[in-house]
Structure 1
Amino acid sequence: MGLTNQSTGLKTLRDSFNVDLQSPDDIVIALAGNPNTGKSTVFNSLTGLKQHTGNWPGKTVTNARGTFTHKEQKYILVDLPGTYSLLSNSVEEEIARDFICFGKPHAVVVVADSTCLERNLNLVIQILEITSNVILCVNLIDESKRKGIDIDCRKLSEELGIPVVPTNARRGIGLDVLKDSLHSMIRTKETLSPISINYNKQITDAVDEICPLISPILKDDVLDMRWTSLRLLDGDNSIIQSIVKYLDIDLSTHNEIMDKIETIKEDLEVVHHMNINNLREKIVSSIIEKAEKIADKVITEHKKQHRDFDRKIDKVITSKALGIPIMLLLLGIIFWITIIGANYPSSLLSNMFCNAELKLTEFFNWINAPSWLHDVLVLGLFRTLGWVISVMLPPMAIFFPLFTLLEDLGYLPRIAFNLDYFFKKCCAHGKQALTMCMVILKLQKNLFIIFYDL
């Protein structure tokens, strides 16, 4: 009876995320990873045409879900939003975190970019704090070899305590091994011993005090108590809201627990002189340090000069003194090229449509068409279409390729990094700076249309 109730409870949690299980034996796999790691390529290669898209419940973020069969076992693959962490700084991070915590996938496949493995390991370690059923897919191994980067995946597996599979999803290399690893983990119920993060003694002691308080209330089979305690300690209120949503348990109503947590925080500040506002930074720093140590052990670079050159550039374009001026100068040049450069094709298109309008007017006069028909079709529809194409198309044709070039060069994430501090002051996120660039372009185009009409 207990097992049946547990299965029913897990099914209910998955139903909250619209995971449609056609059979109780279906295996749910979450696919996580940083943006631009080839995660979508892995998803498409595994599922083929057996996939569909939609929105997460209550969110506007799109998701993709698909199925594949391996060794007569059906797997449901859920593609989580690309994210750099699970600390709930954005909607994407909250969705990924909640599905891993409350969607209860049988396993999580984390796709990492082999060319920047150290950065990707941050997310891997954060997921390992929530669940041990993790497989690391080190993708783009062809790119890392081209850049002279060797990764000892066997050593990496030993360091993390989980299976590690090198892949090149574009060519289908390693995907069969990935499927075998999933089958071995699920069917043989392989016991894994993933690494754990060693936080400083004050944080560890605080977590040890919180765990016994929340364990009798929360479900141990759904949430990891230490990870949950850590989130409560660093003041992540979104996890409290998620617990209410998916477990129907409101920790904020348990005054004795919330008061005890506040007392623990006060002790950290008064007794141990720890700034609570910087607690999350200390937690993240511990994760980053662990990722760096692991990366140093498993990565061998044969072209260090190229990487050192990249880091020297990063120090300049993300520095406090030069980062913002360089960004403003570069974006200003792009906008100037967009507006000035668009004048010439806009003029050519405008003349072309004006000549075509004259020809159409002559044609309507030749067939003795009613004036109202000429006004509707030529002066209304055709002239408006000509104006829109003449004014809107050239700036878009210039701006978006330039913006794409900046993205390919890796400068757009650095813009987001430079502006993240300022955007957080108004409760926003650095990534929204890129949207603001689009808004500025839109305003410029609107002004261009106004002056064009004048």
Structure 2
Amino acid sequence: MNNREYTIALAGNPNTGKSTLFNVLTGLRQHTGNWPGKTVVHAEGFFTYKDEQYRIIDLPGTYSLYSNSVDEEVARDFIIFAKPDVTLVVLDATALERNLNLALQVLEMTDRVIVCLNLMDEAKKKGIVIDIAKLSKKLGVPVVPLAARNKEGIEELLETIVRMVHGEIKTKPIVVSYSRAIEEKITKLLPLVKEIVGEEYPARWVALRLLDGDTSLLHALQHQPHHLLKGVPNYACHCSAKSI
């Protein structure tokens, strides 16, 4: 048995079946509490597949990772600072356009992503047809169709997880293009951000958060152990990317 334990983050909008998938994967091997210093529920579980151990963290259900709430900050910080081996983003196949907003945000943060297209049974009932291969190619990461409550697609998901943790899947996440003004500001900020965070964090994403005046991220960066990031606030732009 491989002694290493792989960490999986489970992200998604509320009501996408994320918790159902968590329960299917972990069964009774799970426990809940609160995130350290937060009132947000922390759900963690474990499972074994092909003699390998996995720890799965069910992140709070959120519509974005822009730190507008404690839930969003918790989910954002875990993906960025804990650096899970895989982040599963659970989408509702019946409301794909709305759900893709969160998926695109996660893809700006990490390339170790598997998109779980859940509620495929409901989509079928509504006559919704999704080209899985085309969506996967567009997003640049694996997309696995699921009906978690019926345990459909779980085996394919597990196989995809195994391939990703062993480096057999090479992803190339889509790069979201913003307005010319924002892209120019990102270009100016990138060298400064890379000088501070190096390869530790996704520089483009950090630059975007700085442009959006995300002070909670600056605070979180400063308080990460082993990283002297006192220069970060000097590069904060107190303007919103939405208003540029």
**Which TM-score tier does this pair reach, normalised by the shorter chain?**
over 0.9
Q: What is the 5 A alignment of 1:143-222? A: 143-221=122-200
1:243 aligns with 2:221: yes
User: Deviation at 1:254?
Assistant: 2.8
1:55 aligns with 2:34: yes
59, 63, 87: which is aligned to 1:108?
87
Aligned to 1:383: none
User: Deviation at 1:52?
Assistant: 0.7
Counterparts in 2 of 1:104 and 1:261: CA distance versus 1, 3 Å: closer
Structure-1-length-normalised TM-score = 0.51
> Is the contact between residue 30 and residue 109 of structure 1 (CA under 8 Å) also seen in structure 2?
yes
User: Deviation at 1:216?
Assistant: 2.4
In the alignment, the residues of structure 2 paired with residue 175 and residue 261 of structure 1 have an alpha-carbon distance, to the nearest angstrom, of 43
Q: What is the 5 A alignment of 1:10-159? A: 25-159=4-138
SS of alignment partner, residue 181 of structure 1: helix
Q: Percent identity?
A: 49
> Is the contact between residue 113 and residue 139 of structure 1 (CA under 8 Å) also seen in structure 2?
yes
Aligned to 1:224: 202
Cα deviation code 1:277-310 (max 9, x no counterpart): 4x2366xxxxxxxxxxxxxxxxxxxxxxxxxxxx
User: Deviation at 1:249?
Assistant: 4.7
> Is the contact between residue 10 and residue 87 of structure 2 (CA under 8 Å) also seen in structure 1?
yes
> Is the contact between residue 91 and residue 99 of structure 2 (CA under 8 Å) also seen in structure 1?
yes
Q: What is the 5 A alignment of 1:226-375? A: 226-247=204-225, 249=227, 251=229, 253-254=230-231, 258=234, 262=237, 276-277=239-240, 279-280=241-242
User: Deviation at 1:248?
Assistant: 5.7
> Is the contact between residue 88 and residue 115 of structure 2 (CA under 8 Å) also seen in structure 1?
yes
SS of alignment partner, residue 43 of structure 1: helix
Amino acid at match of 2:196: I
In the alignment, the residues of structure 2 paired with residue 254 and residue 243 of structure 1 have an alpha-carbon distance, to the nearest angstrom, of 10
Q: Any stretches of 5+ residues in structure 1 without a counterpart?
A: 1-22, 266-275, 283-454
SS of alignment partner, residue 197 of structure 2: coil
Greater Cα offset, 210-219 or 37-46: 210-219
In the alignment, the residues of structure 1 paired with residue 101 and residue 236 of structure 2 have an alpha-carbon distance, to the nearest angstrom, of 27
> Is the contact between residue 111 and residue 136 of structure 1 (CA under 8 Å) also seen in structure 2?
yes
SS of alignment partner, residue 95 of structure 2: helix
Structure-2-length-normalised TM-score = 0.94
Instruction: Write 1 or 2 for the structure with the bigger share of strand.
Output: 2
SS of alignment partner, residue 196 of structure 1: coil
SS of alignment partner, residue 208 of structure 2: helix
Counterparts in 2 of 1:234 and 1:24: CA distance versus 1, 3 Å: farther
User: Deviation at 1:188?
Assistant: 3.2
Counterparts in 2 of 1:154 and 1:52: CA distance versus 1, 3 Å: same
User: Deviation at 1:112?
Assistant: 0.6
In the alignment, the residues of structure 2 paired with residue 189 and residue 25 of structure 1 have an alpha-carbon distance, to the nearest angstrom, of 17
User: Deviation at 1:189?
Assistant: 4.2
Cα deviation code 1:374-429 (max 9, x no counterpart): xxxxxxxxxxxxxxxxxxxxxxxxxxxxxxxxxxxxxxxxxxxxxxxxxxxxxxxx
Amino acid at match of 2:56: L
Amino acid at match of 1:225: A
**Bigger Rg over Cα:** 1
> Is the contact between residue 240 and residue 250 of structure 1 (CA under 8 Å) also seen in structure 2?
no
Counterparts in 2 of 1:72 and 1:187: CA distance versus 1, 3 Å: same
In the alignment, the residues of structure 2 paired with residue 247 and residue 237 of structure 1 have an alpha-carbon distance, to the nearest angstrom, of 18
User: Deviation at 1:98?
Assistant: 0.3
Instruction: Write 1 or 2 for the structure with the bigger share of helix.
Output: 1
Counterparts in 2 of 1:112 and 1:209: CA distance versus 1, 3 Å: same
In the alignment, the residues of structure 1 paired with residue 46 and residue 110 of structure 2 have an alpha-carbon distance, to the nearest angstrom, of 22
> Is the contact between residue 3 and residue 53 of structure 2 (CA under 8 Å) also seen in structure 1?
no
Cα deviation code 1:244-301 (max 9, x no counterpart): 22246565x438x72x655xx7xxxxxxxxxx44x2366xxxxxxxxxxxxxxxxxxx
Runs of 4+ in 1 over 6 A off after TM superposition: none
In the alignment, the residues of structure 2 paired with residue 65 and residue 192 of structure 1 have an alpha-carbon distance, to the nearest angstrom, of 26
In the alignment, the residues of structure 2 paired with residue 108 and residue 79 of structure 1 have an alpha-carbon distance, to the nearest angstrom, of 10
SS of alignment partner, residue 158 of structure 2: helix
How many residue pairs match? The answer is 243
User: Deviation at 1:94?
Assistant: 0.4
Counterparts in 2 of 1:93 and 1:281: CA distance versus 1, 3 Å: farther
